[in-house]
A and B are shown apart, each in its own frame.
Chain A
Amino acid sequence: MTWFARNWEQVAFALYEHVLIALTALAIAAAVSLALGIWAARRPRVFAATLAVTGALYTIPTLAFLALLIPLVGLGKTNVIIAMVAFSLVIMTRNVATGIRDVPADIVEAAKGMGMSARQVLVRVELPLALPVIVAGLRIATVTVISVTTVGAYVNAGGLGTLIFNGIATDHAAKIWTGALTACTLAVAADLALTRLEYTLKRRRTT
């Protein structure tokens, strides 16, 4: 605790860096996956391919993935951001496509019958109804990204992992505890907040 009290600025900076890297990756992934998901939703073969890639990519161990990127992009933030965009892209694309596919066909028919254009159906019917599933994807991606960022410190990306690795290297228990617990708190808080958002959206949809 005394170490934390004396070094809280260092912890705050690591946390700031961690959140910044995670948000950058999520923002890129969210924009791309929304477009990709909408495109894949109506194409069964593209959708099947997305599911296959999601499955395969998700089984690659984080550190192995980061290490395999070193020959291509070297060390640093770019490396970690590419890895995280890849991970979260497939998760979110899958959920955007699944969410749109799960919208009942008769609702889409009714919207078309009311004279809506394909674009209006998408923006005013399909996407709002798919929102809870999309947010669920965002939640899984966020937790994954926070976890990957901790490991990313090993390839010099910064963030809370820096405290953990410094702590391990110098056998400094307080640093390890601070880094690890802050990362855990961040992951749990993000998960809870997005779960709550998901529930709110689901409830609103049924009433």
Chain B
Amino acid sequence: MLVEAWMYLAGHPAQFARALGVHVALSVVALSLAAAIAVPAGMYLAHRHGGALAAINAANVGRTLPSLAVLAIAMPLLGTGFLPSLVALTLIALPPVLINTIIGVREIEPDVIDAARGMGMSSREVLRRIELPLAVPVIFAGLRTGAVQVVSGAVLASFIGGGGLGDFITSGIAMMALPLILVGAIPVTLLSIGADALFGALQRHLTPRGLR
């Protein structure tokens, strides 16, 4: 069966490359958008007690929603294809990044911030040189969760015409062609494990030396 899967892959390189490309593009763009929204929003909300609590509660609810449900709802609202999938996947990646940014900033010892202020740093400098670097490990843990969720979620994007590697799985199931299922399932699993490992490594690498 593995051999047949490989034969299929070797016979349709362009089709596979396109699906892989769409899958990676969906995942990377959705995660980048989520980070671009959630990191600044989280840093802003972290200093507002009520806001932080409300945001964490909302994100916790968002996090429990089944990915398939979020993607499915995108269809009646936005139609089918790449863009609706992208919007849904961005929404799926938002909660873990937002929660971790807020927690990462709030967990910094107040003494450290006081010391930085005492050294004459402006709030802007405190944000850029103290809070952001110290929160990076926790933020990256959130990005790591988000990355795995987006790669997994992008498989389901196939249902609303988003393309990606899920297409092989869904047509494989529809035709009961097991090799075709493997052509989608194995690469997407590797992709997900790869994303997890990549963000784990980034997290270790970007942690300030003093915190390691």
Binding site for B on A (CB under 8 A): 55-56, 58-64, 67-68, 70-71, 75, 143, 146-147, 150-151, 154-155, 161, 164-165, 167-168, 173, 176-177, 179-181, 183-184, 187-188, 190-191
Q: Which residue of A lies closest to B76 (CB)?
A: A173
Q: Which residue of A lies closest to B195 (CB)?
A: A59
Q: Beyond A61-B151, A63-B155, is A180–B69 a contact (Cβ under 8 Å)?
A: yes
**Contact mask B146-170 → A, CB, 8 Å, 1/0?**
0010011001100110000010011
Q: Which residue of B lies closest to A143 (CB)?
A: B64
Q: Which residue of A lies closest to B145 (CB)?
A: A58
User: What class of interface size applies to chain B in its complex with A?
Assistant: 35 or more
Which residues of chain A are near B193, meaning CB under 8 Å? 56, 59-60
Does the CB pair B192–A179 fall under 8 Å? no
Of A58, A155, A191, which contacts B148 at CB under 8 A? A58
CB contacts under 8 Å to A, within B48-94, are: 60-61, 64-70, 72-73, 75-76
Binding site for A on B (CB under 8 A): 1, 60-61, 64-70, 72-73, 75-76, 148, 151-152, 155-156, 159-160, 166, 169-170, 172-173, 178, 181-182, 184-186, 188-189, 192-193, 195-196
Least Cβ distance of B71 to chain A in Å?
Answer: 9
Does the CB pair B155–A176 fall under 8 Å? no
A173 to B70, CA, bound (A): 14
Does the CB pair B159–A165 fall under 8 Å? yes
Q: Beyond A61-B152, A168-B72, A183-B66, is A71–B185 a contact (Cβ under 8 Å)?
A: no
User: How many inter-chain residue pairs (CB < 8 Å) link A and B?
Assistant: 115
A56 to B195, CA, bound (A): 12
Does the CB pair A184–B189 fall under 8 Å? no
A147 to B66, CA, bound (A): 5
Does the CB pair A71–B1 fall under 8 Å? yes
Which residues of chain A are near B181, meaning CB under 8 Å? 67-68, 70-71
Does the CB pair A184–B65 fall under 8 Å? yes
Of B61, B69, B73, B173, which contacts A70 at CB under 8 A? B173
Which residues of chain B are near A75, meaning CB under 8 Å? 173
